[in-house]
Amino acid sequence: MTKFNYDVLFIGSGHAAWHAALTLRQAGKSVAIVEEDLIAGTCTNYGCNAKILLDGPADIAHQAAAYRESGILTGELKINWEKLMAYKHQNIDPMHVGLAKAFENSGITLIDGHGQLQDAHTVKVDSDTYTADNIVLATGQRPAKLDIPGKAYLHDSRDFLSLPHLPNHITFIGAGIISLEFADLARQAGAAVTVIEFADQAIRSFYAKYSAKIVTQLKEQGVDFHFKEAVSAVAKQDQRFQVSTQSGLTVTTDYVIDATGRIPNTEQLGLDQAGVQTNRRGIIVDDHLRTTQPNIFASGDVIDKTIPKLTPTATFESNYIASQLIGLSQAPIQYPAIPSVVFTLPRIAQTGMSIAAAQKDTAHYQIQTIPYGQQMRFETKNESHAEMTIVTDQKHRLVGATIYGNAAQDLINTLTLIIDQQLTADQLDQMIFAFPGASAAILDLLRVAMRQG
């Protein structure tokens, strides 16, 4: 019988890895995690956590504005960026240390360095080698970078989330989720903002109507948008920068963020040596998250998948792999309804079937728009523009929803549960929800719409 150093070895330590690692260790498996950056990965250290922390004051200021127009609230709320950034470092910076201690206390071995496969069971980390019965690749993604003259002047999302001082003017290349979230935050904090996008619309993975509403609102608040423009170069001009496009557009700015997408971390992992196949979207896996080498699994943003690459889906996959390796289940992975959110102000959230997909099959699905902000102003804190668009099937069940509103990130979770459990309006009638509040009011409107659908 072959003796390995570990039962399971993870390359990467983010949510795609550590949930499984803890479960496996609790089940008595010997586990190691190889990490070349901070323990706990992008979301914890450089992504979601930092983003939502920085968003907090901007969210409060945005919601307060709904009462300022009527004179109910007076005075202006201003964000002190330097103090906000200090608050971020105070809360975010220690997190990886605490998690590392928790992992070590559970008996997980942490190996610092770059992991590279030597074969199907061997990982080299610097000058040391380790063997494992099973290996899990959880290396995530990184920001893409435009290959243009002046690319050295481009910054990415990680840079923005640690900006010590807010520049007077920021230019974002790209109009996707990250770009618009940060553009909105920068504007709320007092920066002038320009967004340059190659396509003809923003946030193309979400309902076009609500994406357009966000753009319109940002324009009204002073954000300058340029669509159908391909950035061709960035040049230094004294202490500022000039961004040029192929059409001849030039924008003078103080800071340039390349937000043109993210790419999987598949290079320099020794995948070819281990027989693991990839494509441009990531590592190829089967319906058990096994790579083309059966004892090597992959999890999280690094894999090629059609579902959203999100922290919750990475966590779901991590837990699934753990259940496979400890023998709790051998069934193929089945994803539930997956909510996703754009953290602009207001938010956009969607779950289940997209509106675009339903529009292509109106024989089987009905689309309804519910302007809940107008119908329940006091529950939504005077947010009159808040709106929800839902998709119901021929059995009057909710199968998809998109929400445009300040509380969308919370409301969408309730709708996700309804979709996933295939609850009917009659079943919702048998439930009691806390009142008054936005979720209870939304469900009242939803029950009516489901019966009409």
Tell me if 174 is assigned to a ligand binding site: yes
Residue 437 has pLDDT above 90, yes or no: no
In this predicted structure, what is the pLDDT of residue 226? 99
Tell me if 261 is assigned to a ligand binding site: yes
Parallel/antiparallel/unpaired status of strands 296-298 and 340-342: unpaired
Tell me if 181 is assigned to a ligand binding site: yes
pLDDT band at 2 (very low <50, low <70, confident <90, very high): low
Q: Of the CATH numbers 3.50.50.60, 3.40.50.620, 3.40.1710.10, 3.40.50.2300, which one belongs to the domain with range 6-143+263-326? A: 3.50.50.60
Domains 151-260 and 346-452 belong to one CATH topology: no
Tell me if 178 is assigned to a ligand binding site: yes
In this predicted structure, what is the pLDDT of residue 377? 77
Tell me if 437 is assigned to a ligand binding site: no
Give the integer Cα–Cα distance in Å for 401 and 368. Answer: 10
Give the integer Cα–Cα distance in Å for 367 and 351. Answer: 14
Give the integer Cα–Cα distance in Å for 172 and 169. Answer: 10
Helix (H) or strand (E) holding 100, with range, is: helix 95-105
pLDDT band at 19 (very low <50, low <70, confident <90, very high): very high
Tell me if 177 is assigned to a ligand binding site: yes
Residues 6+ apart with CB under 8 A from 227: 175, 197, 199, 200, 201, 202
Output the DSSP codes for 290-321. Answer: B-SSTTEEE-GGGB--SS---HHHHHHHHHHH
The predicted model gives 406-428 an average pLDDT of: 97
Residues 6+ apart with CB under 8 A from 327: none
Give tens-digit pLDDT for 66-99: 898 889 999 889 999 999 999 999 999 999 999 9
In this predicted structure, what is the pLDDT of residue 339? 98
Residue 378 has pLDDT above 80, yes or no: no
Going from N- to C-terminal start, the domains of the chain cover 6-143+263-326, 151-260, 346-452
pTM, full prediction: 0.95
**3 state SS of 365:** coil
In this predicted structure, what is the pLDDT of residue 382? 86
Give tens-digit pLDDT for 308-344: 999 999 999 999 999 999 999 999 999 999 999 999 9
Tell me if 283 is assigned to a ligand binding site: no
Helix (H) or strand (E) holding 117, with range, is: strand 115-117
In Å, how far are 67, 102, 310, 339 from 16, measured between CA atoms? 42, 17, 10, 18
Q: Of the CATH numbers 3.40.50.2300, 3.20.20.300, 3.30.450.20, 3.50.50.60, which one belongs to the domain with range 151-260? A: 3.50.50.60
Tell me if 76 is assigned to a ligand binding site: no
Average pLDDT, the chain: 96
Give tens-digit pLDDT for 183-217: 999 999 999 999 999 999 999 999 999 999 999 99
In Å, how far are 208, 213, 226 from 201, measured between CA atoms? 8, 11, 10
Q: Of the CATH numbers 3.30.70.20, 2.60.40.730, 3.30.390.30, 3.30.930.10, which one belongs to the domain with range 346-452? A: 3.30.390.30
Tell me if 175 is assigned to a ligand binding site: yes
Residues in the chain, overall count: 453
Tell me if 180 is assigned to a ligand binding site: yes
